Structures are given as structure tokens and as C-alpha cells.
A and B are shown apart, each in its own frame.
Chain A
Amino acid sequence: MPGITREEVAHLARLSRLELGAEELDHLATQLDDIIGAVARVGEVAADDIPPTSHPLPLTNVMRPDEIRPGLTPEQALAGAPAAEDQRFRVPRILGEEQ
């Protein structure tokens, strides 16, 4: 397996929504390279005909009756919001000027 480059790490940081500083990026690149080198050992196991396990319990589509139950009030739901207005979460703009 080839090592991970600094550019790849910067790309991962963008995908992960982490505004990493240059120094942090260098440090993480080294550490991730070490970790990925170690975990790549899973590739040593011949497992072509082995089904994957995503979950320890063999459950699919657990259903329950669709009943109305009491939930949080708008005040409770907004109590932890960084900013709220008119019973809504107030967020920074999500579209650019041209959109």
C-alpha cells in the first residue's frame, strides 16, 4: 500500500470539515501514515469468499407502530442552539451570492 501524501491529508481534512493548520497537517500526515500502515494488515487475511459483518446482530428493518407521542417543545429543542430566531435554528448563510 503506498503511503499517504500531505495533499491527500489536506483533502481528507476538507472532506471532514476540519480547518487544520499547516503544522497540524504535517503532524497528522505522519501519524496517519503510521496508522494506515499498521491497519493495512487486514489485507493479509484471505477473505474472498467471506461475507462482511456490518453489525453484530442479525437485525433488518425493525418496525414499530406509527403512534403520536409527546416530544420536545420548540423551546426545549432550541435551548442548546448557538443562535435561534422565531422558533428556528439561526445558521450562517448556506448559499453563495450567485446562487
Chain B
Amino acid sequence: MADLTRLTAAETAARVASGDVSAVEVAQAHLDRIAEVDGKVHAFLHVDAEGALAAAKAVDDRRAKGDRLGPLAGVPLALKDVFTTKGVPTTCGSKILEGWVPPYDATVTAKLREAGVVILGKTNMDEFAMGSSTENSAYGPTHNPWDLTRIPGGSGGGSAAALAAFEAPLAIGTDTGGSIRQPGAVTGTVGVKPTYGGVSRYGLVAFSSSLDQAGPCARTVLDAALLHATIAGHDPKDSTSIDAPVPDVVGAARSGDVRGLRVGVVKEFGGEGYQPGVEQRFREAVELLRELGAEVVEISCPHFTYAMPAYYLIAPSEASSNLARFDAMRYGLRVGDNGDRSAEEVMSLTREAGFGPEVKRRIMLGTYALSSGYYDAYYGQAQKVRTLIARDFDAAFAQVDVLVSPTTPTTAFPIGERADDPMAMYLADLCTIPSNLAGNAAMSLPCGLAPEDGLPVGLQIIAPTMADDRLYKVGAAVEAGFLAKWGAPLLDQAPAL
């Protein structure tokens, strides 16, 4: 039998539904693959073999009874370790939550279980999703399957690496400043940040509540759409989830077409700081869009250059407040409670021991930006910039249907290269941050390998709020166009592990 780990999610679901293979066989094949390669990749923090096989058996039992199975029933998935999973450890890549077992499921987790998706385990991430390389995990870095000496992106490097290493056909990520799209770009996989509020945040451990958004990661555009449709929708448990029908992302992915579509190239995303091979592959993707019948124009979004500074004020400010919950009192680590120390002293000792350097930097930065005397100049001004960025998008989408840019200025950089240089690290999210600030939808998908290093390059497609279906319509057309040129999916060129 062909290797079950090389199938797409759509193919896997079809074969399970037809009885060609059992969900248990599919799950076991992926668990075997994880056992074989994850020692090198380190995509997973926790593998739940028992839970995965039980979930797979439940799908097989339902099929045997004649139940109709959903479109992803029996498909394995890697879940970012920032979603609560009842009975399964959830660490957020932090020592402060080491050994914590949540008593409830996140809404995303619950929806996956209901759909018969088989959760293989929890994936590695930058601590509390703060980072662009997964090096900020307290449990060691994840390695890029294309080159094990390089970063897999972040914060969702574990989820993206699991896909690229064929450890899972589907994964879930969260995107606060690019943490789904940038790992997708540097691993040659597909990642989507839905419209803010499109997917429930209930049970998603909060980093920056006005920016955090869960979304699908996959190896194909259609698989991402199937997963998007599975997890999206209004949730009474999240008052910021949008109470409106989910755009028809699956229909859009099946009918990829860009004829007559107006595509805007963001003028501000290119030039100095951009790797020549990234710019070359991006230009080829734009050329492909033209060949496929799209009308391409250049669009200026003048305030996008202020997106990064605004983001590094807003996100840390919200984080400094959100992470106050890690107080050593109700769950998680407690350090130094010797009977003499006060709660406040224990709190400070615990947070010092339990948080890593990047989390501390951001808590301190946020505390600074919100403190009296600095609030107006920093946090207040950043919120105004946020308004101007949203207005840039409004003006752009009055002229074009979607915007495109490189997802990230460079390909995957070597592990360690930017580890203690926060400003260099922050540049990885230059092109992805504006959509988090404005809340609109965006996707990254592969557009080739950079000639100078042979590493994947991502094309970012950006759509207006609640027009997530446009991402899939354009993404599917680009994917099919490149497949016709390349003759095989890009990941077929990844080295054997």
C-alpha cells in the first residue's frame, strides 16, 4: 500500500469513508512516522498515541454502524500546544505550565473531536506564542525538515514542521503577528489566518486578545479549507467570535479561479532587507497570476511601515495583562513557598523561574508602554496607527479584490542566528502583522524555492474581513498553476529525513 502519510487530508478522508483503509491504520502510520523522525524534527511536545488510536477506532466503529462521516473523519492532526485539551497536557511551550493537565477542551479542540479528526498530539511553539523561530520554547527548538540546522518559523513552528515532515496532514496554529503564515512560508506549507473572530478563542491560552486568531495549517489549499470550515463559526463562549455565516471556503478552494480578479501588489513590502531569491519567486507568482487572467496593479499602503512598531507596543501591552494570570496560586508552577514568604514574593519568584527571556521582555515592554506618563506616547499612539493601517486596507480593497506580498522577507534562517537579537527576530513578521492589526484574513502558500539556498518561499494573499473565501479561490488557482509548472508538489523536493 502507498505510504499513508503522503496522502492529502481530503484523500485520507475519502479512503477512510470508502473503507479502503481504516482510521486506525492511518493513525498508526502517522504515529510510526512520528516515532521515526520526530527525534530529529522535534515538532511534538506531547504525543497522545492512546487518545489518537481511540479516536480513530471510534471513527471506524461509526462507519461500521453505517453513520455518515464528516469530510475530515479519520484524518490525523497536530494541535498547537496553546489549546486546552481535556486530560492531555498543555504547556504553551512554557515551564510555568509544565505538567498542567486542563480540565476542559478548547472550542477548537471540541470541534475537531466532534468532526472525527484524530488528534495525534500537541506541537512545539515559542513560549506563549511569542517568537518567530520556535527557539523560545522552554522544551528546545523545532528543526525545519528542509534543513535541520534552520528554524521552522514561529511561533507555530511545531505545527508547520509536522506537516512538512509528513508527521500529520493537518495542523492547527494561532496567528497573532504571523505565527501561522510565517512558519507556513519557511516550511513550504499552507497556513491561513482567518478573519479575526472567525474561529473561537475559547480555550486558546491568550497572548494578545485583540490580535490572536486560530487557523488551519495543511499541505494543500483544499485541505486548509476543509479544516477551516471544521473549526470556524460563532461560539457563545467567545464574545468576540463573529455571529455570521462562515464564508464558503471549501467551495472557493474547489473552484480556484482568478480570471478578471483585481490583485494589488503591496508596494511597501520589498526592497531593502528582502532576500533576492524571495523577491524573484514572488515576482514569478505575480506573473503567474497575470497568466491565469488576473489584473495586477501596484497599491501603496503608506502606514504599513509603522505596523511593526505599533504591533510591538500593542501585543506586549495586552500580553503583560493576560500573563498576569500566571500567579502561582491556582495552577501551574509555584516556586519558593517555604511558609515564610508572602504570596507576592512567591509570585515574583515563580514568574522569574517559569518564564523565559522573550516572555519577560514582552511583559516588561508592555508594562512600560501602559505605565503612567508613557501611555499616550506609546500605547495610545500605537492604537491610532492601528486605525490608519485599517484605513490603508479599506482604501486598497476599494481598488482591488486581494493584495499579495512575500509572506516573510527571507527564507528560514539558521537556528541561533537571531536568538538574542530581538529586533532582528521581529523583522520576520514585517509583512504579516498589518492583517493582525486590522483583523482581516490572510494566507501563505508555497511559491517555490529561493535559488540561493534552495529553501521554501511563501506567497501571502490578503483579503478583506469576512472575505476569507477569496484567499482560497486565489490560493487554489496559484497552487494549481504552480503544480502544472513544477510537475509535483514542492514538498516532494524536501530531503528525506
> Could you tell me which A residues sit within 8 Å of B by CB distance?
1, 4, 8-9, 12-21, 24, 28, 31-32, 34-36, 38-45, 47, 50-57, 59, 62, 64, 72, 76-77, 79-83, 89, 91-94, 96
Contacts and interface: CB of A to CB of B under 8 A. Distances in A.
A45 B306 contact: yes
Given A72-B103, A81-B330, A42 B310 contact: yes
Given A57-B242, A92-B341, A94-B343, A15 B384 contact: no
Contacts of A38: 309, 312, 423
Interface residues on B, range: 35 or more
Contacts of A52: 380, 383-384, 386-387
A12 B364 contact: yes
Interface stretch (B53-61, B109-117, B348-356, B404-412): B348-356
A57 B390 contact: no
Interface in B327-369: 327-334, 337, 339, 341-349, 351-352, 355, 360-361, 363-365, 367-369
B149 interface: no
A4 B346 contact: no
Given A19-B348, A77-B103, A42 B332 contact: no
Given A18-B355, A39-B309, A39-B312, A45 B385 contact: yes
Nearest to A55: B210
Given A40-B378, A91-B329, A92-B346, 16 more contacts: A16-B320, A17-B327, A32-B365, A35-B361, A38-B312, A40-B377, A41-B309, A42-B306, A42-B378, A45-B381, A47-B385, A51-B384, A52-B383, A89-B329, A92-B341, A94-B344
Contacts of B349: 19
Contacts of B312: 35, 38-39
B177 interface: no
Given A41-B309, A91-B329, A92-B337, A35 B365 contact: yes
Chain B contact residues, majority secondary structure: helix
Contacts of A1: 377
B239 interface: yes
A74 to B, nearest CB: 11
Given A17-B347, A35-B422, A12 B367 contact: yes
Output the residue of A32, A40, A56 with the most chain B CB within 10 A: A56
Contact of B343 (A35, A54, A92): A92
Interface in B115-163: none
A93 B320 CA distance: 24
Contact of B104 (A12, A54, A72): A72
A1 B309 CA distance: 15
B438 A20 contact: no
A13 to B, nearest CB: 7
Contacts of A59: 239-240
B307 to A, nearest CB: 10
Contacts of A83: 334, 337
Contact of B385 (A42, A92, A93): A42
A16 B352 CA distance: 10
A28 B352 CA distance: 13
Contacts of A43: 377, 381
B263 to A, nearest CB: 23
A50 B242 CA distance: 26
A89 B330 contact: yes
B330 A80 contact: yes
Given A51-B384, A62-B239, A93 B342 contact: yes
B210 A16 contact: no
B388 interface: yes
A49 to B, nearest CB: 9
Contacts of A34: 422-423
B196 interface: yes
Nearest to A89: B330
Contact of A56 (B210, B303, B347): B210
B363 A96 contact: no
B471 to A, nearest CB: 17
B397 interface: no
A1 B377 CA distance: 9
Nearest to A37: B423
Given A18-B363, A56-B196, A42 B352 contact: no
B364 A53 contact: no
A31 B368 CA distance: 13
Contacts of A16: 320, 351, 360, 363-364, 367
A77 B101 CA distance: 11
